Each structure stands twice: as C-alpha cells, then as structure tokens.
Amino acid sequence: MADTHGNESAKEPSKPGASFDLSSEEFRRLGHGVIDIMADIMDAERNDPVFPENSGSATRARFDLPLPTHGRTFDESLHQCNELLSGGLRRNGHPRFFAYVGASADPIGMFADAMCSALNQNVTAWRSAPAATEMERLVLRWLDEIVGFGGDGHGLLTSGGSAANAAGVSAALASAAQRNGGATSISRDRMTLYTSREGHLSLAKAARCAGLRDDHVRSIGVDDVRRMNVDELTATLRHDVDAGLHPACVCASAGTANTGAIDPLNDIASVCKRFNVWLHIDGAYGAPAAMTEEFAWMSRGFASANSLSLDPHKWLFAPLDVGCIIFRDAEITRRAFALSASYVTVRQTDEIESFAFFDHGVDLSRRFRALKVWMILTTRGTRAIADIIQRNIGLRKSLDKRIEGEPRLESLGSQLSICCFRFVPTGWTDADRINRINEQLIDQIVTEGHIFMSPTTLDGRFSLRVCIVNFRTQESDIDFLVNEVLRVGNGLANA
C-alpha cells in the first residue's frame, strides 16, 4: 500500500470519489502502489503457504460490510482490499500448487491484462475495435499453428474451456441439422453426442444447454489407461443409427482433467469420417503439449477434427481468463450463432471491416483477451514455452519414479503432467480402510498448507491427484511432496 512504500506524504485528492477522472500524475502515483502490491503477491506465491488455513464462517464475517454511500481515497480502499483478501486466497502460482489444471500466471501477461483494462476495448466486431479484432484473429492463427490444427485460425477467444466446448458442441449441432436436410428437419431431441466417461463435465452440460436430451449423451467406456474405447464408440454409433437417431458430435479428449488421458485421436477421427459425424477435441489442458517433440503426434489427430478447444490460461501461462475454440469451417459457426438486430447492423461491406465476432459466438461484449496471449507469445517465444511444458511432464515422470521406488505408494494412473497415486500401508488389503487413510492423508496435508492436492476416485480407489502446470515447480518440490505423503501416511497408519 501507499503508506507502506514511502508515499506517506503524497497528496490525496481533496474530494475522494467526487471525480472519476485522474491526472496522469495521480494515475501514475496510484499505479505505483498497485505495482507494489502485485510484487508482494508475487513474493507470496513463492514463499507463503499454498493453502492458508481459514473457515467459511470466518471468511464470510470479514465480508459482512455495508454498502458504501460515500467514497474515500484509493489508498484507503487498497489497504482494506489487502486486509480482506489476505490469508483468504489460494496461492495458485505456488510451486506446490498441484490441485487443479490451473497454471502459474506469467508476469508478462499480468502487465498485458492491466493494459487491456486501460484500453477497455469491446472486441465484438471490427468496427468497434479494429486493431484489437485483428490482434485476436492473429492470435487465433498462431494458436492454430502452435498445435497443428491447420484451420487458419477460424474461431474466437472465450472465458475458458467450458465456453469453448459449448461453442464447439453448438456448431456441431448446427452442422448436423444442415447435413441431415436443414435446420428444421430434425429436432434436437433425436440427436446424440458421444464422449468418454472420463470426458469433461462441460461437454454434457453444453449438450444439455444446446437442447439435447440427457439420455442422448452417450458415455463411452475407456481402456486400461482411461482412453475412449473406439470399438465401443463404433458399436454405439451403429446402434443409434439403426434406431433412427442422428449422431451429431463425438467429443474426444486431448488430456483429461482427471488423469491426463489422451484419447486415440486418429482412430476416433476415422470412425467419425465413416459415420459422417462432427469431431470435437477437448484440448483445453493438453493441446499445447503438441508443441513438444514427445507429443507432437497429437497434431495429426487435431488436423482431422472439426473443432478444438484449448486454454491459454492453462499451459500457455496466461492469467485468467482466456480460452480458445478453433474451427475447420467458419461458416458453420455463423449458421450456429448469427442473428440480426437493428442495433448491431454492420454497414461496412469490405470483407475485413464487416467481420463481427458476435456472428460466431454467444457474446456481444468481449474483453480484449488476445493482448495478454500476444504479449506472452512475442516476449517468451514458443520454444521457451514448449521447454516449460516438457519440464512439467518431466517432473511428473520424476514423481512416477519416486512412487515406483516406494513400496508404500501405488500409482493409479499417470499421463501428461498429471499423476494419481495412493498411500498403502504395508500389509493393508482392505479397500475401504485404504480409502479412508488416503482421505485422512489428503485432508491433513491440505490443512497444513504446504502442499495443495486434489482428490479423485479411480475405479473405487480414492486417489491423491497431482497436476504439474507451473513454471516455478522444481525437482525439490516433487521430493518434498513424496516425503510429506510418506510422513503423514506413516503417522496415520501408526496412530
């Protein structure tokens, strides 16, 4: 805050809240205070507990505040903000934040996000934000190129993978209606959608919101490494076609949120081609791994898909929020989303100037999300980002080796940068008892605050789930994790 960084004597506005405008001098002064807070946050990301201890009632009580009717100085508001949030936030950028597929935010992206707010562009159409629109279209082409989709960047940036998946599903249904004789010839309650039982919940949610019946969302089984079973997919498609239903979309995963599983993309693409069904690939987490030599093979599957989602705020390290959906055919999205109203009429006739993102998605008001992605890509370069992704995958492999070398640890699934495992005390065989001790183990570790993991259950086995999507994580953090699991597990087993 200003009063803790040498600005005690700085002159405050004489009438706090009376004017919204600031001089450039005053804006800079206030901005320095914000930058100081941001620097403190960066230090805390590295050094504070990853998950501070708190409770719902105590946190709620801090926010039991009256509506302000009179303004005050910005420094006073900033001070109170810091007090309200202090100790009540997870350190998502901490090197031992392993709970979710939530990456550490690149500081370059933080600065770009601040610039985005200052520019305050509404990237709804070219006429509203010409340069911002062209930057987004450029970023989309770059993202397309990064993963090898080969669709020339038709698409849009979204709030995240769920919104991107929803756009992909909506486009698939519009395509199915047209393919089968026109938008009104087939009711959506006769269409079907297919995903594996490991697929992201946003896919089934998107299908429901788009008008599909819940019982027409097929949950396809998986193999021993939790990839979609292609034979079962083929049989289910054949059964539905024979029953007079209309398969509209197959949703494959390039890195599931549960275990990082990558579906057999090429085989699924061949099945979709045979049945003339839209292939959407959910690559929100895993698609950027195609930048690495080890996982470049995924690009062959991407190049056969009709749509692909990916999240720059995951493995491209952009600050929240920014997702992406790219399409093979831009006209399909226009048919899915374009509607007309007098207040959004586009009068430009030039092909570039008449473009409108609102013709290709749900939102009219759209934040200038492309700026932070552009800034990160141009400042860091794709080689450096790919190196960090490969390093994260390498750390997961290091964890695998530690688990393999510890007789009390059991691997339950490990792909990309996600590892699921559990603690099994020597001689224990009762499944319920093993589940209970792992439940207690993760609760204690999270409460202690030095590591944040998330649980999952795999075939009835309670699992400790570790996701490494962080440029700060080192081998020492992996060693600390394993040692803590053994310490807490042994303590519980011997209690």
pLDDT, one tens digit per residue, over 403-450 is 999 999 999 999 999 999 999 999 999 999 999 999 999 999 999 999
pLDDT of residue 17: 47
Cα–Cα distance for residue pair 74/72, rounded to 1 Å: 7
User: At 147, is the secondary structure helix, strand, or coil?
Assistant: helix
pLDDT of residue 86: 84
For residue 315, give the H/E element and its range: none
Residue 197 and residue 335 in one domain: yes
Question: Which of 237, 227, 192 minimizes the C-alpha distance to 212?
Answer: 192
Residue 9 falls within a domain, yes or no? no
SS3 string, 384-408, reads HHHHHHHHHHHHHHHHHHHHHCCCC
User: At 287, is the secondary structure helix, strand, or coil?
Assistant: helix
Residue 168 falls within a domain, yes or no? yes
The two structure tokens encoding residue 408: 């009390």
Residues of the chain with pLDDT under 50: 1-11, 13-14, 17, 183
Residue 421 and residue 311 in one domain: no
CA atoms 25, 27, 33, 34: torsion sign: negative
Number of domains in the chain: 2
**CA distance readout (Å), 290 to 255, 264, 298, 395, 417:** 11, 14, 6, 18, 13
Residue 479 falls within a domain, yes or no? yes
Residue 472 falls within a domain, yes or no? yes
Residue 334 falls within a domain, yes or no? yes
**CA distance readout (Å), 278 to 113, 174, 272:** 35, 10, 7
- The CATH number of the domain holding residue 389 is 3.90.1150.170
Residue 316 and residue 462 in one domain: no
pLDDT of residue 277: 97
pLDDT of residue 144: 98
Residue 246 falls within a domain, yes or no? yes
Residue 202 and residue 303 in one domain: yes
**CA distance readout (Å), 169 to 96, 192, 408, 451:** 35, 11, 43, 36
Long-range CB contacts for residues 19-27, cutoff 8 Å, separation at least 24: none
Residue 390 and residue 367 in one domain: no
- Report which residue type is found at 474: Q
Residue 208 and residue 272 in one domain: yes
Residue 375 and residue 395 in one domain: no
Residue 65 falls within a domain, yes or no? no
Interior angle at CA 389, CA 388 and CA 393, nearest 5:
115
Cα–Cα distance for residue pair 185/208, rounded to 1 Å: 20
Residue 374 and residue 387 in one domain: no
Range of the structural domain that residue 470 is part of: 383-494
pLDDT in tens, 237-294: 999 999 999 999 999 999 999 999 999 999 999 999 999 999 999 999 999 999 999 9
pLDDT of residue 181: 53
Residue 459 and residue 328 in one domain: no
pLDDT of residue 185: 65
